[in-house]
Amino acid sequence: MDYIQILGLLAAIFTTGANVPQAYKVVKTRSTKSLSAYGFSMLFIGSMLWVIYGIYRNDIPIILANGIAGSLHGIILFVKFTAKKEH
């Protein structure tokens, strides 16, 4: 593994890890009132497009980071659209 791959993996860990607290909070509280469905939809679509790009480029850090981030965005969207509305 060269230095560029290590740099990519570190970037992947930090950017993907930044999504974990929000996803955890949403799953735990089932509260998505303050979250934008449009924003998370864009993040989800963007992450999935990055995964496709990473597959074509055979770039493991891009595939892993965006695959995990996209999954977290998908979980948040699922809760956003399925949780009972807050009053």
**CATH number, domain with residue 13:** 1.20.1280.290
Rounded-to-integer distance, Cα 68 and Cα 19, Å: 9
How many angstroms separate the CA atoms of 34 and 47, rounded? 21
Q: Both tokens of residue 4?
A: 């560029």
pTM (two decimals): 0.83
Residue 69 in tokens: 């981030």
Residue 26 sits in which domain range?
Answer: 3-82
Report how many domains make up the chain.
1
**Position 73 in a domain:** yes
Nearest to 77 by CA among 40, 34, 23: 40
Task: Report pLDDT digits (tens) over 4-18.
Answer: 888 988 988 998 899
In this predicted model, what pLDDT tens digit does every residue of 32-54 receive, in sequence order?
888 899 999 999 999 999 999 99
**Residue 65 domain-assigned (yes or no):** yes
Residue 87 resides in a domain:
no
